């Protein structure tokens, strides 16, 4: 295993939004949780040496690389953290695992099912040598959602019958917002579907402990042409300021789909970046034969629970403030009633991964879990391309 002297050197690819979140997590994990290995921010990788150096200085990285392949040759890098666009995931992850580096890869796992399958195969080869991998579905590490999973496992809502999930954003409502990489199929694979829809698919399968077996879907691209970012007009792929010329949006702006679980539960999903006024609104509800659970990311420290076995005179949804030491992850933080935020989910992710690596066990969600989400996304795209026809999901 590439772990020496009680430390785990991290090499991270990408330094934008997710790079900042992951950097904070690696810096924080060992300061609040007792870890068997100390994460060290060894190297930050980005294509622009100047921009990567500025980011490394700001976020606490020891050195900079401009080619991700250099991370694989460094003895002080034991784990490669992939925070770059989806079209890079497969190449980096497979090469890193084959080189004996542990891997954390941001979601969605890949841009295509074939890429995801290749990544799962590489993860299986690596696991035989004690090299571990995880896909970054960070919302699993929200304490309230981890508690919801525990309640489902303990049978508190009985047999799950309905799942309804929505992830609503509005950051591209303006038709003059530039054609950034997330709006280009070749870089992102899909639009709202893969970017935020992947989260609610994973959460639905995680919370229920069940897999989706089929979907019927609609997708729409509301704004089909946008101004090129200045750096794209100059030959690059990043950037957010408008430049000269316009380009075609090649991904979905919104996706709606119905689903059925193997255990018989019915599901509805909505993922959109055109819900005006909704900034990052993730909501999920499970209805079962004995009760219900509901979560809203805008009330991140709360879980709504309805116990259907209670007396009807006093029964009702109760608000659980998920800040007790007995709740998942909370014991390492603050006294009861002192709230956590979005950034803590990434710290919990880092903590779990380090513990799994030190214990020589397979982390979750695994690359195989990431493939299961990718299969759903693929089925949604196939259904939408065929007038919403029912599309089975098979391995």
Mean pLDDT by 10 residues, the chain (395 residues): 71 97 98 98 97 98 98 98 98 98 98 98 98 98 98 98 98 97 97 98 98 98 95 43 84 98 98 98 98 98 98 96 98 98 98 98 98 98 98 94
Residue 188 lies in a domain: yes
Answer yes or no: are the C-beta atoms of 265 and 258 closer than 8 Å: no
Check residue 231 and give its pLDDT: 62
Residue 360 lies in a domain: no
CATH number of the domain within which 212 lies: 3.30.360.10
Which of 139, 161, 192 is where one domain is finished? 139
Check residue 254 and give its pLDDT: 98
Q: What domain range includes position 254?
A: 143-299+301-340+374-385
CA distance 67 to 210: 40
Same domain for 67 and 41: yes
Check residue 232 and give its pLDDT: 43
Check residue 244 and give its pLDDT: 73
Maximal CA-CA distance, the chain: 67
Same domain for 283 and 380: yes
DSSP 4: B
Same domain for 329 and 181: yes
Answer yes or no: are the C-beta atoms of 267 and 161 closer than 8 Å: no
Same domain for 158 and 108: no
Check residue 3 and give its pLDDT: 46
Same domain for 333 and 209: yes
Same domain for 132 and 148: no
Which of 109, 139, 169 is where one domain is finished? 139
Sign of CA dihedral 78, 331, 22, 191: positive
The alpha-helical segments, DSSP class H, found in 189-337 are: 192, 198-208, 230-233
DSSP 183: G
In the three-class reduction of DSSP (H, G, I as helix; E, B as strand; rest coil), residue 61 is classed as: coil
**β-sheet bridge partners, residue 288:** 160
Which of 139, 156, 184 is where one domain is finished? 139
Same domain for 187 and 118: no
Same domain for 154 and 118: no
Residue 249 lies in a domain: yes
Residue 282 lies in a domain: yes
Same domain for 332 and 219: yes
Same domain for 315 and 174: yes
Token pair 């054609």: residue: 179
Residue 295 lies in a domain: yes
Same domain for 108 and 155: no
Answer yes or no: are the C-beta atoms of 230 and 220 closer than 8 Å: no
Same domain for 306 and 157: yes
- 189: exposed, middle or buried (Cβ count in 10 Å: 0-12, 13-18, 19+): buried
In the three-class reduction of DSSP (H, G, I as helix; E, B as strand; rest coil), residue 295 is classed as: strand
Residue 352 lies in a domain: no
Residue 363 lies in a domain: no
Domain count, the chain: 2
CA angle 144–147–149, rounded 5-degree value: 115
Residue 357 lies in a domain: no
CB count within 10 Å of CB 161 equals: 16
CATH number of the domain within which 62 lies: 3.40.50.720
């Amino acid at each position: 295993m590439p772990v020496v002297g009680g430390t785990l050197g991290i090499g991270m690819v990408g330094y934008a939004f997710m790079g900042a979140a992951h950097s904070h997590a690696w810096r924080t994990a060992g300061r609040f949780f007792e870890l068997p290995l100390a994460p060290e921010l060894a190297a930050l990788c980005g294509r622009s040496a100047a921009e990567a150096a500025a980011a490394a200085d700001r976020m606490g990285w020891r050195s900079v690389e401009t080619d991700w392949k250099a991370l694989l040759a460094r003895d002080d890098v034991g784990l490669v953290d992939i925070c770059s666009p989806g079209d890079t995931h497969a190449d980096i992850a497979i090469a890193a695992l084959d080189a004996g580096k542990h891997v954390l890869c941001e979601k969605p796992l890949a841009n295509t099912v074939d890429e995801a399958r290749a990544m799962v195969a590489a993860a299986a080869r690596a696991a035989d040598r004690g090299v571990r991998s995880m896909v970054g579905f960070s919302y699993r590490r929200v304490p309230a959602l981890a508690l919801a999973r525990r309640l489902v496992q303990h049978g508190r809502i009985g047999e799950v019958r309905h799942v309804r999930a929505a992830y609503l954003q509005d950051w591209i409502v303006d038709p003059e917002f530039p054609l950034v990489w997330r709006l280009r199929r070749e870089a992102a694979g899909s639009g709202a579907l893969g970017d935020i829809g992947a989260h609610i698919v994973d959460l639905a399968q995680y919370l229920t402990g069940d897999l989706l077996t089929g979907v019927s879907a609609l997708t729409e691209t509301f704004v089909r042409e946008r101004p090129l970012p200045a750096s794209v007009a100059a030959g690059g792929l990043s950037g957010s300021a408008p430049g000269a010329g316009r380009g075609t949006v090649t991904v979905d702006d919104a996706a709606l789909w119905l689903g059925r679980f193997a255990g018989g539960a019915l599901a509805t999903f909505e993922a959109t970046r055109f819900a005006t006024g909704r900034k990052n609104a993730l909501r999920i509800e499970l209805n079962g034969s004995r009760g219900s659970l509901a979560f809203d990311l805008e009330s991140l420290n709360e879980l709504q629970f309805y116990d259907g076995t209670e007396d009807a005179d006093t029964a009702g949804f109760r608000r659980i403030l998920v800040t007790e030491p007995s709740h998942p992850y909370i014991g390492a933080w603050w006294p009861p009633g002192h709230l956590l935020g979005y950034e803590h989910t990434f710290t919990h992710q880092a903590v779990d991964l380090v513990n799994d690596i030190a214990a020589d066990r397979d982390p979750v969600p695994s690359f195989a879990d990431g493939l299961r989400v990718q299969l759903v996304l693929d089925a949604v795209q196939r259904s939408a391309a065929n007038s919403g026809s029912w599309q089975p999901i098979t391995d």
